[in-house]
Structure 1
Amino acid sequence: MVPSDGVRTMGVDRHWRCYVSPAFVEATPVVELAGVWIHEVAHLLRDHHGRAERLPAADQRDHVRVNIAQDCEINDDLLADGLALPEGRMEPRLYGLPAGGLFESYLPAIPRTPHGPDCGSGAHGAPAPWELGEEGGPALVGPVEAEALRRQTAQAVRAHQRGRGKTPAGWARWAEELLEPSVDWRSALAGAVREAAAWAAGAVDYTYRRPSRRTPALGGRVVLPSLRRPLPRVAMVIDTSGSMGPDDLAAALAEVTGVLREVGVGGNRVAVLACDADVHAVTRVRGAGEVALAGGGGTDMRVGIGAALALPDRPNVVVVLTDGYTPWPDETPSCRLIAALVGQDPPAPPPWVQTVRVDLAT
């Protein structure tokens, strides 16, 4: 807390200091002070200054409109929860907007205005004249500690909700999004494979099969090699164990088709291995119709990963489609390994495995 005559009511900076006007405190009922306090804390918990930095440059410079949109995001939740706020507060209904939205969706409908709220750099991201900066005042809260505070608060909100407490809808939605962010798993899987394939394709080597174009300049006395960029090879290890139901296998088969299409690795450069506790089929495929699935026994994807790495055309990228109930290699293999986890609450693989959780319901 920092008393300040420069701030009109209250405001926060990105270091989690809250600036408070003594005159405002003196003139405002305690119940409204509580509402304003929670309002300012919400700017920090919802990472408004971090989100503002991801706006287009023109919007970032318009601090007033950004602050108004952010206040609309917060105040509709606080008012719905029964908190008291001072007169003149910003609400979505004042701009013909629906309640429950994020400030990024409100911003285009907020008209330009020279005057408005200024909740400080903890909201719109730009330092206000009354802020102390990094040098003065109470101890600073850094980005890592700030994120820990957000997660601790979100976990407390979730625990209160599960304990049949009355959790405000806006805060419950915020906590769920923070702890379980909504991600399009199809895009995540395709992006992970593309990234791994790009990494593999970046491995260049020299070859004399095609001499360098600079060789003629040396009069034929020296032959220079040229650089080659090998195309990446991908291996798909599909879990066909008894714990994988037919629906899961069908989804896994569909993902083979999706990965083939998204990555753009054509021809016979993709190998598919059906594996439970042993490898039952190895297929070179161009499409899902060419995949042969067999198995149904125990589960050990280490066998499939090992078989993939032992192929004559060693893959640069191995994608394992599994429900996660399998042992994993003890150490990182000499390739990029991606686990596409299907099913409900799959156990997590080791941290060095790049993981994408596949929600079959979406």
Structure 2
Amino acid sequence: MQEEPPYPDPERSPDPDPYPDPDPDPDPSPGPVLDRAKLLAARYAAAEARPYLASALYALTVVPSPGPSGVATMGVDRHWRCYVSPAFVERTPVPELAGVWIHEVAHLLRDHHGRADRLPPADQRDPVRINIAQDCEINDDLLADGLALPAGRMEPRLFGLSKGGLFEEYLPGVPATPPHGVDCGSGAHGIARPWEAGPGGGEGRTPSGIGPAEAEALRRATAQAMRAHQRTRGTLPAGWDRWAREVLEPTVDWRRALSGAVREAAAWAGGAVDYTYRRPSRRTPALGGRVVLPSLRRPLPRVAIVIDTSGSMGEEELAAALGEVTGVLREVGVGGNRVAVLACDADVHTVARVTRGGQVELAGGGGTDMRVGIRAALSLPDRPNVVVVLTDGYTSWPQEPQSCRLIAALIGADAPQPPHWVETVRVDLTR
């Protein structure tokens, strides 16, 4: 990715931007011509002040947007094109322009348009309201970081909201018909604006921008640059720190992960087939009754849930995790006497066949050894195909893989990792 010189001189060198302005005067009264030198100087100042944002800043392609039909200030689309009002550049000091550069690239780095696409349809119909909530999320961090922004900026305090939130949290507190003309483009709220080019660019020399894969690579590279900055130079604003952590160490919805693991294990166990003479094969009559052929059957899996009831485990946490597991088993048709629940600390206290979580008696409260519970589960008269262990992880595990699918649902952020052959889902009950 080629970087542009910070202070280009039109008298001495060609226009450094790879996409020069279209021919001027397309309109009888076009207003001021874009002061590209000032605009690019502001971008250079932004990259110098926050070097971890430099790659993202220089990935933005400048598209002049003059006249009454153009953007009011600056805006971005989904393709990392930055639309700029020449009049806005003319009246805005370089330090504030630098802040606006960072503001606009923050919309794209934080994937605001992708997150806006996941909002309920009723919210999506009001892009201005979405944009204000997004601006509150960004400006909160930029102002705390000491950056200058133009007057009229959106901040959480204007709506009686607390600092440090995400735009999805701010959105309910923003009025349904706000009197503000905020519009940062489809790169923010997700709705294409009249002044934007299409996905493949516009008429003349408007560039096509960059695609989703390159955008995701830019996000990851920027997050890594932020981590390097923290190691060598200090801290980041809380919002950027949270964003970088989420990009580099994405949190997975534990309910979805646990459900997926249980479903997949149940499907694996249920995929086993065996022959049975209880129901003869449909081909038997063709043999004249002289030979009876067995038919194939696909048995339902049996599941054992081993619950860590040692003193370090809270009953509410266990009940929540158990509810997720039993709910998934009901959905896949495994219930009734096909699910055994074993309460275990350093010994097995109760074994029960359950049909719902409320039937489970969580006895125990002593030490922790889930090996005892796993052995007891595999010694049941109806040997399970799948064993799910709900634990905080502070336990010993079997020395080698077992003769069934073993899933560990680890409750707590600091739960130690089990052996590599144990399927693991980390359960964060705060989410």
Q: What's the TM-score, normalizing by structure 2?
A: 0.59
| Distance in 1, Cα, partners of 2:186 & 2:260 | 35
Matched, 1:126 2:191: yes
> Partner of 2:409: helix, strand, or coil?
strand
Matched, 1:96 2:160: yes
Name the residue aligned to 1:156: 225
Is this contact kept in 1: 2:113–2:190, CA < 8 A? yes
Please list the CA deviations of residues 307-330 of structure 1 after superposition, one character each: whole Å capped at 9, or x if unmatched.
978987464533255569879989
Structure 1, 230-239 or 106-115: larger mean CA deviation = 230-239
Name the residue aligned to 1:79: 143
With over 3 angstroms needed to count, the CA separation of the structure-2 counterparts of 1:347 and 1:193, relative to structure 1, is: closer
Given candidates 37, 54, 57, the residue that maps to 2:118 is 54
> Partner of 1:3: helix, strand, or coil?
strand
Name the residue aligned to 2:339: 269
Given candidates 352, 359, 365, the residue that maps to 1:285 is 352
Matched, 1:27 2:91: yes
Please list the CA deviations of residues 175-234 of structure 1 after superposition, one character each: whole Å capped at 9, or x if unmatched.
23444456675x4575346534774698699999799xxxxxxxxxxxxxxx99854421
Alignment of 1:204-215 (within 5 A): none
| Distance in 1, Cα, partners of 2:91 & 2:419 | 57
Which residue identity lines up with residue 194 of structure 2 in the other structure? Answer: P
Is this contact kept in 1: 2:63–2:81, CA < 8 A? no
Which residue identity lines up with residue 243 of structure 2 in the other structure? Answer: W
Is this contact kept in 1: 2:311–2:367, CA < 8 A? no
Is this contact kept in 2: 1:324–1:342, CA < 8 A? no
Name the residue aligned to 1:195: 263
| Distance in 2, Cα, partners of 1:175 & 1:26 | 34
Is this contact kept in 2: 1:161–1:172, CA < 8 A? no
Given candidates 59, 62, 67, the residue that maps to 1:2 is 62
Please list the CA deviations of residues 96-142 of structure 1 after superposition, one character each: whole Å capped at 9, or x if unmatched.
22222222222223231476122111101111222222212445433
| Distance in 2, Cα, partners of 1:37 & 1:104 | 23
| Distance in 1, Cα, partners of 2:163 & 2:314 | 40
| Distance in 2, Cα, partners of 1:105 & 1:184 | 18
Is this contact kept in 2: 1:324–1:347, CA < 8 A? no
Is this contact kept in 2: 1:233–1:269, CA < 8 A? yes
Structure 1, 283-292 or 86-95: larger mean CA deviation = 283-292
How far is the alpha carbon of 1:161 from its aligned partner? 3.0
Q: Compare CA radii of gyration and give the structure with the larger one.
A: 2
Which residue identity lines up with residue 33 of structure 1 in the other structure? Answer: L
Identical counterparts, % of pairs? 62
| Distance in 2, Cα, partners of 1:328 & 1:7 | 65
Structure 1, 147-156 or 98-107: larger mean CA deviation = 147-156
Matched, 1:169 2:201: no
Structure 1, 266-275 or 338-347: larger mean CA deviation = 266-275
Name the residue aligned to 1:214: none
How far is the alpha carbon of 1:53 from its aligned partner? 0.7
Q: What's the TM-score, normalizing by structure 1?
A: 0.68
With over 3 angstroms needed to count, the CA separation of the structure-2 counterparts of 1:166 and 1:328, relative to structure 1, is: same
> Partner of 1:318: helix, strand, or coil?
strand
Name the residue aligned to 1:222: none
Name the residue aligned to 1:39: 103
Which residue identity lines up with residue 132 of structure 1 in the other structure? Answer: A
> Partner of 1:285: helix, strand, or coil?
strand
Given candidates 346, 356, 359, the residue that maps to 2:416 is 346
| Distance in 2, Cα, partners of 1:68 & 1:10 | 15
| Distance in 1, Cα, partners of 2:127 & 2:252 | 29
> Partner of 1:112: helix, strand, or coil?
coil
Matched, 1:112 2:177: yes
With over 3 angstroms needed to count, the CA separation of the structure-2 counterparts of 1:127 and 1:161, relative to structure 1, is: same
> Partner of 1:98: helix, strand, or coil?
coil
| Distance in 2, Cα, partners of 1:349 & 1:44 | 39
How far is the alpha carbon of 1:57 from its aligned partner? 0.8
| Distance in 1, Cα, partners of 2:243 & 2:322 | 35
| Distance in 1, Cα, partners of 2:99 & 2:312 | 48
| Distance in 1, Cα, partners of 2:299 & 2:86 | 68
